[in-house]
Amino acid sequence: MRSGETMTAQKVVIATNAYTSAILPEYASSIVPCKGLACHIIGPKGKPLPKLLAASCAIMEQDSVSNKTGYNYMVQLEDNSIVLGGAHHKYDVNDLGSWYNNVNDTQLIEPARRYFEADYMQRTFVGWEDSGACVDRVWTGIMGYSTDSLPHVGEVPGRDGVFIIAGFHGHGMPVIFLAAEGIAAMTQGLAYEKTGLPSLFKTSRDRLESERNDILADRGIRSTRD
């Protein structure tokens, strides 16, 4: 198939997560692109970082100025380097446009970058004061947050033969595989209710028309879309 050509299909699966509304505009208020920031932390050359954890973890923290509570998430890799993300409590309220409904991944979220680069490991973990841990790389990613905290899975209301699997709220890996199996079965004619997927995941007109907005409510901004 060459660029500019048109392909037709009896059934289509939309699996575009944060970018869903570009194809299905009716999801613009239900699946919102939200930018996040993560970094990679290493030790000095020839000095591996201490062993910290055998699994991923979340670290709760209260900001000393705003008193907002937020969390960071991290995992230590086989070479003892660390991938760390989060820091929402450092920027989410003060600069909504830097992350909410934002698909521009060419710009960093500066408050989060500065927060992690300011010796995060040394000031957070006892025994790491002389580790020499430092940020090696910083990057952004665009996540598809759903306004009711649940993914949208199933046939799109009012669009026969169009299916959606999107809006995983930054936690896609635990549920995407089962949801994808369900979508595949639905394209073969199986009803949603027979797939074994949770009923709460089923996309619906009611969910699309709901005014609920957990994304902003969880950050103390507002609980409705507008």
pLDDT value of position 93: 78
pTM for this prediction: 0.88
Topology adopted by domain 36-140: Alpha-Beta Plaits (3.30.70)
Range of lowest pLDDT (17-21, 88-92, 118-122, 140-144): 88-92
pLDDT value of position 192: 98
Amino acid at 164: I
In the chain, domain spans: 12-30+147-217, 36-140
Give the integer Cα–Cα distance in Å for 27 and 17. 10
Quick one: CA torsion of 97, 100, 102, 104, rounded to 10 degrees?
80
pLDDT digits (tens, 9 = 90+) for 213-226: 999 988 777 766 65
In the predicted model, what is the mean pLDDT of residues 107-122?
95
Higher-confidence residue: 8 or 54? 8
Closest of 215, 191, 203, 221 to residue 34, by C-alpha: 215
pLDDT above 70 coverage of the chain, percent = 97
Classify 23 as helix, strand or coil.
coil
Tokens of 57: 């973890």
Closest of 180, 182, 213 to residue 196, by C-alpha: 182
DSSP element (H, E) containing 180: helix 173-187
Q: Which residues contact 161 (CB under 8 A, 6 or more apart)?
A: 9, 10, 11, 12, 155
- pLDDT at residue 195 is higher than 80: yes
pLDDT value of position 223: 65
pLDDT digits (tens, 9 = 90+) for 27-79: 999 999 999 999 999 999 888 899 987 778 889 888 777 778 888 999 999 99
Do 169 and 152 meet the contact criterion of CB atoms below 8 Å apart?
no
Do 175 and 197 meet the contact criterion of CB atoms below 8 Å apart?
no
